[in-house]
Every structure is written in C-alpha cells, then in structure tokens.
Structure 1
Amino acid sequence: MEMSPVLAPHGPAEQFAAGRRAAAAALAAAGSTERTVPRARDGRPLFPQGFAGSISHTGRLAVAAVVPGAEAVGVDIEPTPITPRMAAFLLREQERRLLLAPIGSYTARDLFAAKEAAFKAMNCIRTLGEFLFWQIDLGQSDGALIATYRGESVPLWIRSEADLSFAVAIRR
C-alpha cells in the first residue's frame, strides 16, 4: 500500500493524479515493472496482469493497494464522520448492534469504508450481478471482519485514526 498527497487546488484532476502516483508506487513495491494504471471505460483503474489493485482518495490524500496474484483488491479511505441517520441506512441493525462501539471496536465510518472496500473487491465477480455497496453484510469470524454478499465473502482489514478510516479487502 502506498499514499500520495493531493496537490492544490485539490480538485478532481489533482485527486486522479495523486491516485495514479500512489498506484505506481504500490506497483513498484509489489514488484511490477509496469507502473502505468490506465482507466477503463467505466472509470475503474486497470492494473497490469498479475497485479490486483485498487485506488481511493479524499480531497487531500490518495492511497493505492496492490497485491500480486490476488483475484481482486478493494481499498477505501473515509475522512467524513457518519451520522447516526446515515449509519441506520448504510448498516444493518445487527451490524450496528455487534460491530459498533461500545460492544464492537469499530466506528460507523470504519464500517462504511469496509463496505466500500469490500464492494470494490467483490464487484469483479460477474456471478454476483449488479449490487450496491450497502447490501454487503459485515460480520466477524474468529475476531476477523468479513464482508459477505450472496454466499461470497472477503476478509477486511481496518485502520482508524481520529480523522480518517482506511479499509482493505483482498480476494485471493
């Protein structure tokens, strides 16, 4: 995983460029000789053969994760706190009850980032059809966070700081 700051004036062009810089650095760290990540017609980044990757950005920071040999990778960063009303829409009642503090160890922003990352990693599975990220179920298995949709699952890793939540999903 690599990060790149978004340069002023922090607009869409600067965010795109920062994402591609982060992706090039992540590819280099993963051992790829190819560092260019073009954009597919639908906007998704096209990583080189044998290197699954994902890019996410805010107005100030871009991140990219690359995993050689993985089927798919999803990454998301979220700086915006999730209100209780938004959490009620985005998270199922069981997710709120078991995963959010005080019982669970996650914030609503963490779980939002987790669903976004899982969606990116699972969206490549053509048998799942079209779906929306909030339809993914989050749960725990042996202390690990797992995202599930229509019988398919992907593990998640979350890192949370005071002003940012970061999530990665890797489908092997």
Structure 2
Amino acid sequence: MPAPHGPAEQFAAGRRAAAAALAAAGSAERTVPRARDGRPLFPPGFTGSISHTGRLAAAVVSPGAEAVGVDIESALIPPRVAAFVLREGERRRLLAPAGPYTARDLFAAKEAAFKAMNCIGTLGEFLFWQIGLAQAAGALSATYRGETVPLWIGSQADLSFAVAIRR
C-alpha cells in the first residue's frame, strides 16, 4: 500500500483487495461498503473478509460460505502475549520446536477463526483468545462452543497469513 500507511490508506487498500478477490470469485459487484459495526458488507452470495498490516492488505472471498476470516500479522508476538492468547496445550503441541508454528502464526489463526466464527458468541462475551486450536493429521482447526472451522496458515520470516472458512 502507498505511503503514508495510515488508517485511510489501509482502509482503501483493504477495499481494493476485496474488489480484486470479488473479481476473481466471479462477482459482478466489486464494492464492499462498511456496516455500522465496521465489518465489510460483501455482495449477496459472496462471503469475505479483509485484513491489513501497516503496509499490506489482503482479502479472501468464498462464494457460498457461511463466514470467512482472514488475518495477516507482521508484528512479533512476545512470549507474555503468547502465554495469554494461547492455552498451555496449544503452546506445548503447536509452537516450535514441538510444533510447526510460531506464536505469530497461531495469533493470526485465532484472529481469522474469530472473524469466521463471530456470530456464535454474544457480543462482548466472545473474545478471540477463547478459541481452541488443534492439529490432527496435519490439519489445523479452531473450535469454539462445539463449532469447528478449518484453518490454513502461510508464513514467511516477517509475516503470517491465516484463513478460516465456515461452510
């Protein structure tokens, strides 16, 4: 996204990413207005999500999905934050060296799952760190109140990207 990387530029970049994702998904409508609560309003039949860091924006659209969540994280997650956001079992089984993920990967995963599962909890009671993460047969998933969504994570040295799709 172009400098100065402020809130207005991040918002615009997110909407450009959403328009490109809608085009790739086959939508004739490319405008994604903002709901009163700030969530993006995708056109009927196209469920999506937007995320951004200070310099990068991403959007994912999944036609026919019930909900979608995407998150990108560029900040390092300090051990104290990881200890708060991740349950002991998640840290023990999923974090390197025992597991394949960094704290930033799992933070992004919980944020993406939260976006995909945000209609399950009551406003004010559902917080993203309450989501449980588990891995079975190499696949990562998130669970909250008996609802499970699959997660996909991609990462580089300075960036983690996570997607959750609720069918």
| Matched residue, 1:88 | 83
Query: Displacement of 1:46 after TM fit?
Result: 0.3
- Distance in 2, matches of 1:68 and 1:50, equals 6
In the alignment, structure 1 residue 142 sits paired with structure 2 residue 142: no
Return the match for 1:29 from 24, 29, 34: 24
Query: Displacement of 1:8 after TM fit?
Result: 1.0
TM-score (norm 1): 0.94
In the alignment, structure 1 residue 160 sits paired with structure 2 residue 155: yes
Return the match for 2:122 from 129, 135, 141: 129
Return the match for 2:42 from 43, 47, 58: 47
Unaligned runs of at least 5 residues, structure 1? 1-5
Return the match for 1:9 from 4, 7, 12: 4
1:35-84 Cα deviation digits (max 9, x unpaired)? 00000000000001110100000110000000011111000000001111
- Distance in 1, matches of 2:29 and 2:10, equals 21
| Matched residue, 2:146 | 151
- Distance in 1, matches of 2:7 and 2:156, equals 24
Query: Displacement of 1:129 after TM fit?
Result: 2.0
Return the match for 2:68 from 70, 73, 76: 73
- Distance in 2, matches of 1:141 and 1:104, equals 12
Query: Displacement of 1:7 after TM fit?
Result: 1.2
Return the match for 1:119 from 114, 120, 123: 114
2:37 aligns to what SS in structure 1? coil
- Distance in 2, matches of 1:29 and 1:58, equals 22
Unaligned runs of at least 5 residues, structure 2? none
The residue type paired with residue 70 of structure 1 is A
